[in-house]
Chains A and B, each alone.
Chain A
Amino acid sequence: MQLTVSYLDQILVLLIFTVALNLVMGYAGVFNAAAGAFGAIGGYSLVWLTANHGWAFIPAMLVGVAGTAVFGLLVGYAALRLQALWLLLLTLAVQLVLIGTLSGLTSLGGSTGLQTSNLNILGYQLVEPTQVLPVVAVGAVVVFGLCYRIGESPYGRVLRGIRDDETATRSLGKNTFSYKLIVFTLTAAMAGFGGVLLSTDTTTASPGLYGFDVSIQVIAMVIIGGTANMFGSVIGVTLVVLSTPFFENVIHLSTNVASLAQGLAYGLALVIVVFFRPQGIIPEGSAPWRWRRRTPAPPSGAGAGADAPVHSRAPVPAPLVTDRAPRPGAGQGDGGDRVLEVRGLTKSFGGNKAVNDLSFDLRRGQITALIGPNGAGKTTVFNLITGAIPADTGRVRLFGRDITGLRPDVITGLGMARSFQDVRVFPSLTVLDNIMVGIQDQPGDAMRNLFAHPGLVARAERAARERAREWLRFIDMEPLAGVRAGSLGFGQQKLVALARILATDSEVLLLDEPGSGIDHAWIDQMIAVVKQVSEAGRTVCIVEHNLEVVGRLADHVCFMELGRLTAEGGFTDLTSDPRLTEAYFGTV
Chain B
Amino acid sequence: MAQSDETAVAPHSNPERDPDGRGTLLEVSGLQAGYGAKQVVFDVSLNVGAGEIVGIVGHNGAGKTTTLNSIFGILRPRGGQITYRGENIAGRTCHKNVLAGMTLVPSEQFVFADLSVAENLQLGALWTAAAKRAALLDSVYQIFPVIKDNLRQRAGQFSGGQQRMLSIGMALMADPTFMLFDEPSLGLAPAVTIRVFDTLRQLVADRGISVLILEQNMPQLLRIVDRVYVMRSGRIAGEETVEELRAREHYWDIF
B186 contacts A by Cβ under 8 Å: yes
| Option from A375, A515, A520, A587 in Cβ contact (under 8 Å) with B219 | A587
A515 / chain B contacts, CB cutoff of 8 Å: 61, 233
Is the beta-carbon distance between A585 and B233 smaller than 8 angstroms? Answer: no
Is the beta-carbon distance between A547 and B217 smaller than 8 angstroms? Answer: no
- A interface footprint on B186-210 (CB within 8 Å = 1, 0 otherwise): 1100100010000000000000000
B62 / chain A contacts, CB cutoff of 8 Å: 545-546
Is the beta-carbon distance between A546 and B232 smaller than 8 angstroms? Answer: yes
Given contacts A374-B60, A547-B59, contact A585 B251 (CB under 8 A): yes
CA distance A493 to B34 in the complex (A): 15
A581 contacts B by Cβ under 8 Å: yes
A546 / chain B contacts, CB cutoff of 8 Å: 59, 61-62, 232-233, 255
A488 / chain B contacts, CB cutoff of 8 Å: 37
A547 / chain B contacts, CB cutoff of 8 Å: 59, 252-253, 255
Is the beta-carbon distance between A586 and B233 smaller than 8 angstroms? Answer: no
CA distance A488 to B38 in the complex (A): 10
B220 / chain A contacts, CB cutoff of 8 Å: 586, 588
Is the beta-carbon distance between A489 and B37 smaller than 8 angstroms? Answer: yes
CA distance A515 to B220 in the complex (A): 27
CA distance A513 to B61 in the complex (A): 9
Given contacts A490-B39, A586-B219, A588-B219, contact A518 B61 (CB under 8 A): no
B65 / chain A contacts, CB cutoff of 8 Å: none
A115 contacts B by Cβ under 8 Å: no
B163 contacts A by Cβ under 8 Å: no
Is the beta-carbon distance between A545 and B255 smaller than 8 angstroms? Answer: yes
Is the beta-carbon distance between B233 and A545 smaller than 8 angstroms? Answer: no
| Option from B4, B34, B186, B233 in Cβ contact (under 8 Å) with A588 | B4
CA distance A548 to B254 in the complex (A): 9
Is the beta-carbon distance between B40 and A585 smaller than 8 angstroms? Answer: no
CA distance A581 to B61 in the complex (A): 20
A375 / chain B contacts, CB cutoff of 8 Å: 186-187
Min CB–CB distance A117 → chain B (angstroms):
59
B250 contacts A by Cβ under 8 Å: yes
Q: Give the interface residue-count category, chain B.
A: 35 or more
A334 contacts B by Cβ under 8 Å: no
Min CB–CB distance B63 → chain A (angstroms):
9
Min CB–CB distance A511 → chain B (angstroms):
14
Min CB–CB distance B233 → chain A (angstroms):
5
A486 contacts B by Cβ under 8 Å: yes
CA distance A137 to B217 in the complex (A): 71
Is the beta-carbon distance between B234 and A519 smaller than 8 angstroms? Answer: yes
Is the beta-carbon distance between A585 and B61 smaller than 8 angstroms? Answer: no
Q: Give the interface residue-count category, chain A.
A: 20 to 34
Most chain A CB within a 10 A radius of its CB, from B42, B185, B251, B255: B255
A575 contacts B by Cβ under 8 Å: yes
A208 contacts B by Cβ under 8 Å: no
| Option from A422, A423, A493, A519 in Cβ contact (under 8 Å) with B42 | A519
CA distance A423 to B34 in the complex (A): 15
CA distance A586 to B220 in the complex (A): 8
Is the beta-carbon distance between A588 and B61 smaller than 8 angstroms? Answer: no
- B interface footprint on A491-531 (CB within 8 Å = 1, 0 otherwise): 00100000000000000000001011111100100000000
A576 / chain B contacts, CB cutoff of 8 Å: 250
Given contacts A374-B186, A516-B61, contact A586 B252 (CB under 8 A): no
Chain A residue at minimum C-beta to C-beta distance from B186? A374
Complex interface residues of chain A between 467 and 505 (CB less than 8 A to chain B): 486, 488-490, 493
CA distance A375 to B194 in the complex (A): 19
A415 contacts B by Cβ under 8 Å: no
CA distance A328 to B251 in the complex (A): 39
Min CB–CB distance B61 → chain A (angstroms):
4
Is the beta-carbon distance between A581 and B234 smaller than 8 angstroms? Answer: no
Chain B residue at minimum C-beta to C-beta distance from A576? B250
B255 / chain A contacts, CB cutoff of 8 Å: 545-547, 584-585
Is the beta-carbon distance between B5 and A581 smaller than 8 angstroms? Answer: no
| Option from A374, A486, A517 in Cβ contact (under 8 Å) with B216 | A374
CA distance A486 to B40 in the complex (A): 17
B113 contacts A by Cβ under 8 Å: no
Min CB–CB distance A308 → chain B (angstroms):
13
Complex interface residues of chain B between 58 and 105 (CB less than 8 A to chain A): 59-62
A423 / chain B contacts, CB cutoff of 8 Å: 38
B183 / chain A contacts, CB cutoff of 8 Å: 374
Is the beta-carbon distance between A581 and B38 smaller than 8 angstroms? Answer: no
Min CB–CB distance A65 → chain B (angstroms):
44
A493 / chain B contacts, CB cutoff of 8 Å: 37
B218 contacts A by Cβ under 8 Å: yes
CA distance A10 to B217 in the complex (A): 69
Given contacts A375-B187, A488-B37, contact A581 B59 (CB under 8 A): no
Chain B residue at minimum C-beta to C-beta distance from A423? B38
Given contacts A373-B216, A546-B59, A586-B185, contact A520 B235 (CB under 8 A): yes
Is the beta-carbon distance between B232 and A586 smaller than 8 angstroms? Answer: no
B2 contacts A by Cβ under 8 Å: yes
Min CB–CB distance A392 → chain B (angstroms):
22
Min CB–CB distance A372 → chain B (angstroms):
10
| Option from A518, A520, A575 in Cβ contact (under 8 Å) with B252 | A575
Chain A residue at minimum C-beta to C-beta distance from B37? A490
- A interface footprint on B220-235 (CB within 8 Å = 1, 0 otherwise): 1001000000001111
Min CB–CB distance B181 → chain A (angstroms):
15
B232 / chain A contacts, CB cutoff of 8 Å: 546, 548
Chain B residue at minimum C-beta to C-beta distance from A492? B37
Complex interface residues of chain B between 28 and 44 (CB less than 8 A to chain A): 34, 37-40, 42
Min CB–CB distance B1 → chain A (angstroms):
8
CA distance A486 to B4 in the complex (A): 52
Is the beta-carbon distance between A517 and B61 smaller than 8 angstroms? Answer: yes
Most chain A CB within a 10 A radius of its CB, from B4, B218, B252: B252
**Contacts A581-B250, A584-B255 given; 6 further ones with Cβ under 8 A?**
A422-B38, A486-B37, A493-B37, A520-B233, A547-B252, A586-B219
> Which residues of B pack against A, CB within 8 Å?
1-2, 4-5, 34, 37-40, 42, 59-62, 183, 185-187, 190, 194, 216-220, 223, 232-235, 250-253, 255
Could you show 10 A-B contacts with beta carbons less than 8 Å apart?
Answer: A373-B216, A375-B187, A422-B38, A516-B61, A519-B39, A545-B62, A575-B250, A581-B1, A585-B216, A586-B220
| 6 residue pairs, one from A and one from B, having the closest CB atoms | A586-B217, A545-B60, A516-B61, A588-B219, A545-B59, A585-B218
